[in-house]
Structure 1
Amino acid sequence: MTVHANKAVVTGGTGGIGLETAVGLATQGWDVTVVARDRERGDAAVARIDAAAGRDAGRFIGADLSSLAETRNVGRRLASEGVLHLLVNNVGGMWVTRWESAEGIEASVALNHLSPYVLSEELLGALAAGAGSRIVNITSAAINAAQPVFDGIEPPGPHYGMAATGRAKLAHLAHTMDLAERMKPRGVSVFAADPGAAATDNAAQMTIDILPPPLRPHWGMIRKGVSAPVSTAAKAPLTAATDPGLEGSTGLVIGPAGEPDDRLLGFVTPQVADAVRTWTANLLAAHAG
C-alpha cells in the first residue's frame, strides 16, 4: 500500500524564511509546493528541498503573487488537485520605494494582505478536505509602526515602507483572526506566525528611508536585528505548521521563540477589525476577477 505524504503549499518559498520553512517541512516528511515568480530560483529551491528530504519532495509553480488574477489562477489550479493539508502564506515584503502591482494596487497591500487573502479563499475547500489542516499567515512586528487608518488603499501622508507594510500586516492579522473563527467548524486551524527579524534578501535592501522619521534614531538597532540567521526565523512558521501541541487550537499568534505570543493582537481592536473588513471587501470588489 502506498502511503502519501501530507501536502503543503508555501508562497514566496524560493528564498529567505519561506525556503527555510519549506525545507523544514520536507525534512519532516511533507510534500511541498513552493509558489513564487522566478523559475531559476524555484529550480534551486526544489533541489535544496529534495536534498534535505532525501527524496523528490519539492515542486515549483511560477506565479506573480502581486497580481490578484495570477493568485486566483494558481489557487484554482492547486484546488483542482484535491486535498491540501497546509498553506503557509509567506509571500510579502517591505520596500524603501513605493511601487504598484500590475493591477495598480500599492505593493504592500497587494502582497502582504490581498494576495494571501485571495489564495486562502481559493484553497479553503481543499484544506477543509484535509483532516486537521492548517493555514499559517506570516505576520510582523512592523505592525508597531502602522497607521491604523483604513479609509483608502493607503493612509494619508508620505509613504514609508515599514509603516506601509505594518499597516498591511495589521489588516491581515485582523483577517487571520476572522478566518480562524470562520474555519473552526470545518476543522481548519488558522495561525499567525511572527518570525522576527532576520537576514533575508529583502532586509538587505532596506535603508533608513524605509522608516517613519520618529523611528530613525532606532535604525542601528533595527539593522542589528536583521542580522539574525534566516534558519532561526523559520522556527515560528514551522511550529505553527507542525507542532502537535497546537492540535485543536486556532486563532493564535506564534512568536519568534515558537511559543504563543498575543502582543500583536493588542493592535486588532474591534474598531480596526470592522474597518479592515469593509476596506478589504471594497478593494476586492474593485479588483474582482
Structure 2
Amino acid sequence: MATAGDPVFMRADLASLDETRALAARLAAAGPLHVLVNNVGAMYPQWRQTVDGIEATFAVNHLSPYLLTELLLDTLRTTGESRIVNVSSGAVRAAKRTFDAVEPPGGYYAFPWYGRANLAYTLHLAERLGSTGDSVFAADPGGAATAMTDGTMRVSTIVSPGLRPAWPLVRRMFARSTSGPASTAARPSDLAATEAALDGKTGLLIGPDLRPATPSRWSTDPRMVRDVLALSRQWAPLTAE
C-alpha cells in the first residue's frame, strides 16, 4: 500500500472522454491536488477517429487536457495557490489560425491542433481565474527526440497541403528541431510547476530557454479564444450526455 508522498500511477486512455472524466474523479478523490501538468500529446499522419467519434489529434492534444483541467478546477482551488501547466509547442507556427471547425481547411493534416488551442485556452483560464492566487502557465518544451516525433516526422501528411511540395526541406528542419533529449524538453514544464520565483504570477508562456516568451498574437485573438472555447464545450461537455 502506498504511503503519503509515494508516487501513484493512474492509467487512462486520454483519447476517450469517459476515461478522462473517470481519471478526474479518481484524482479528485485521492486527496489534495496542488499541481496539474497536462503533458499529453499525439500526432497522427493519417486521419483517425476516437471512440467518441472525434478527430483524434483534436481529442488527445486539446480536448482531454481541457476537460481534465475543467473537472479538477474545484479540487485544485481548495488547496490554495495551485498551479496548472499546459504544454504548448513552438509548432503553433505551423498550426491553423482559425478554430471555427474541428477539421482544417483543405483536408486533414496533423498540425492544426498541436499547441495553439492549448495556448489560447491557457491564457483564457489565467484571465478567468484572475487574482484567486491560482496560477496558470503554458510551457513550450522545444523539440525532443521521442517516439512521437520519430514516428511522425517521416511523412508529409503532418503538415498542411501548401507545405508538402517543400517537404524535404521541412523534414530537415523538423529533424534538427527535434534532436534534443526529452529530459531537456521537460525543463520548462518543471520550472512552471515548481519555480518559487513564479509565485503570484500567472498567464505566462515559459519557453525552451526557461524564460517567459511572448505568445503568438493569434493565441490572444479574442475570436480564436471564443472559437476554441466553443468547440471545447461542444465536444467535451463536463458531464457525459
The two structures share one fold, judged by TM-score above 0.5: yes
Deviation at 1:266, TM superposition (A): 4.7
Question: 2:43 maps to what in 1?
Answer: 94
Q: Does structure 1 retain, via aligned residues, the 8 Å contact 2:62–2:113?
A: no
Deviates more, 1:76-85 or 1:133-142: 76-85
Q: SS at 2:84's partner residue?
A: strand
- Residue 71 of structure 1 is matched in structure 2 by 20
Which amino acid counterpart does residue 284 of structure 1 have in structure 2?
Answer: A
> Does the C-alpha gap of structure 1 residues 137 and 286 become closer, same or farther in structure 2, counting only changes over 3 Å?
closer
CA distance in structure 2 between the aligned counterparts of 1:187 and 1:199, rounded to whole angstroms? 36
* Letter matched to residue 172 of structure 2: G
What RMSD, in angstroms, separates the aligned Cα atoms of the two structures? 2.0
Report Cα offsets for 1:94-138 as digits up to 9, x if no partner: 221221111111111111111011111111112112232100000
Give, in angstroms, the shift of residue 60 of structure 1.
Answer: 0.9
Aligned runs of 1:128-167 on 2, under 5 Å?
128-162=77-111, 164-166=112-114
Rounded Cα–Cα distance in structure 2 between residues aligned with 1:79 and 1:267: 30
The 2-side partners of 1:132 and 1:149 are apart by 33
The residue that corresponds to 1:173 in the other structure is 119
Distance (Å, rounded) in 2 between the aligned partners of 1:81 and 1:59: 10
Aligned-pair CA distance for 1:198: 0.3
TM-score (norm 1): 0.75
| DSSP-derived class of the 1:74 partner | helix
- After TM superposition, the structure 1 stretch with the greater mean CA deviation from structure 2, 258-267 or 222-231, is 258-267
Residue 163 (structure 2) pairs with residue 211 (structure 1): no
Q: How many residues align?
A: 233
Residue 184 (1) aligns with residue 105 (2): no
Provide the C-alpha distance between the structure 1 equivalents of 2:34 and 2:238, rounded to a whole number of angstroms: 31
Q: What residue identity is the alignment partner of 1:58?
A: P
Q: Which of 160, 173, 177 in structure 2 is aligned with 1:221?
A: 173
Equivalent AA in structure 1 for residue 113 of structure 2: T
Q: Percent identity?
A: 42
SS of residue in 2 equivalent to 1:91: coil
TM-score w.r.t. length of structure 2: 0.89
Partner of 1:24: none
Structure 1 residue 153, shift from structure 2 partner: 1.8
Q: C-alpha distance in 1, partners of 2:129/2:68?
A: 15
Classify the secondary structure of the residue corresponding to 1:159. coil
Cα distance, 1:59 vs. partner?
1.6
In structure 2, the partner of 1:38 is none
Instruction: Indicate conservation of the 8 Å contact 1:153/1:283, yes or no.
Output: no
Question: More displaced, 212-221 or 138-147?
Answer: 212-221
Cα drift, residue 246 of structure 1? 0.5
C-alpha contact 2:82 2:134 (8 A) present in aligned 1: yes
In structure 2, how many angstroms separate the alpha carbons of the residues matched to 1:121 and 1:198?
Answer: 28
Q: Equivalent residue for 1:27?
A: none
Q: Any unmatched runs of 5+ in structure 2?
A: none
Give the conservation status (yes or no) of the 8 Å contact 2:66–2:232. no
Higher relative contact order by CA 8 Å / sep ≥ 6: 1 or 2?
Answer: 2
Q: CA deviation at 1:286?
A: 11
Contact map agreement 1:255 1:261 (CA 8 A) in 2: yes
The worse-fitting range, judged by mean Cα deviation, of 275-284 and 254-263 is: 275-284
Q: 1:285 to 1:239 in 2, by over 3 A?
A: closer
Bigger Cα displacement from structure 2, 68-77 vs 147-156: 147-156
C-alpha displacement of 1:165: 3.4
| Structure 2 Cα separation of the partners of residues 286 and 71 of structure 1 | 10
* Cα separation, 2, equivalents of 1:117 and 1:267: 16
Query: 1:265 Cα shift?
Result: 4.9
SS of 2:85's equivalent in the other structure is strand
1:157 Cα offset (Å): 1.5
Matched AA of 1:283: W
